[in-house]
């Protein structure tokens, strides 16, 4: 299988689930003209996949994208400390959505799975000292929304409603269930 993502979290989730894969990074620009946020994220994942699929028609390819959304505003990976601080200040005390979309395709076998998983995360009220402590860890800078639920960012979170692994970057249970629906058993994972 080819994973069209450089996300360490996605790689970790897939490895822990028993997948063997190689990483090929898509250089597709992450933009979409879709109006609905979930459709926009799915469109970006599809574009990542299609760029790699055309040269690998016999391979299973997986692409995904994750964003944080609050009141219609999308929070991707912060560009710098100042932006990360603004993200965390805005998320403080609020419930936001984490939207992960993925596409799984094999052109030669005519297999296509597309799905979007939406979870909710409620942040604690964060003071500037806590935000700056977290920023000093260096953890927020390569993560949508400026935090990682699987790392030190867990201390910022009051509660979640939804799929922990989707919030982390890839909804593995949802993916395995969708594989099962097209005739793949979990025991066949290594053969994919």
Mean residue pLDDT of the chain comes to: 93
In whole angstroms, what is the distance from residue 62 CA to residue 176 CA?
13
Q: Which of 65, 115, 127, 142 is catalytic?
A: 65
**Whole-prediction pTM:** 0.91
Which pLDDT value is given to residue 170? 97
- Mean local confidence (pLDDT), 122-138: 97
Q: Residue 188's pLDDT is what?
A: 64
- Three-class SS of residue 185? coil
pLDDT for 6 equals 86
What per-residue confidence (pLDDT) applies to 26? 84
Of 5-14, 19-28, 125-134, which has the strongest mean pLDDT? 125-134
| Mean pLDDT along residues 46-66 | 93
The answer on pLDDT for 190 being more than 70 is no
Question: Which CATH number is 2-191's, of 1.20.950.20, 3.40.50.300, 3.50.50.60, 3.90.950.10?
Answer: 3.90.950.10
Contact 112, 181 (CB under 8 A): no
Is residue 192 scored above 70 in pLDDT? no
- What is the pLDDT, as a whole number, of residue 189? 56
Query: Is 33 annotated as catalytic?
Result: no
């Amino acid at each position: 299988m080819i994973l069209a993502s450089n996300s360490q979290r996605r790689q970790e989730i897939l490895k822990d689930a028993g997948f063997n894969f190689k990483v090929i990074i898509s250089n597709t620009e992450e933009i979409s003209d879709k109006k609905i946020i979930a459709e926009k994220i799915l469109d970006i994942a599809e574009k990542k996949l299609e760029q790699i699929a055309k040269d690998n028609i016999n391979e299973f390819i997986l692409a995904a994208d994750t964003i944080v959304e609050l009141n219609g505003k999308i929070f991707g990976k912060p560009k710098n400390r100042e932006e990360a601080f603004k993200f965390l200040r805005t998320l403080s005390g609020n419930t936001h959505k984490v939207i992960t979309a993925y596409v799984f395709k094999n052109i030669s076998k005519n297999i296509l799975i597309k799905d979007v998983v939406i979870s909710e995360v409620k942040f604690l009220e964060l003071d500037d000292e806590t935000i700056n402590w977290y920023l000093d860890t260096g953890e927020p800078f390569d993560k949508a929304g400026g935090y990682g639920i699987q790392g030190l960012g867990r201390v910022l979170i009051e509660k979640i409603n939804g799929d922990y692994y989707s919030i982390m970057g890839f909804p593995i249970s949802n993916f395995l269930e969708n594989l099962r629906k097209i005739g793949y058993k979990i025991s066949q994972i290594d053969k994919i």
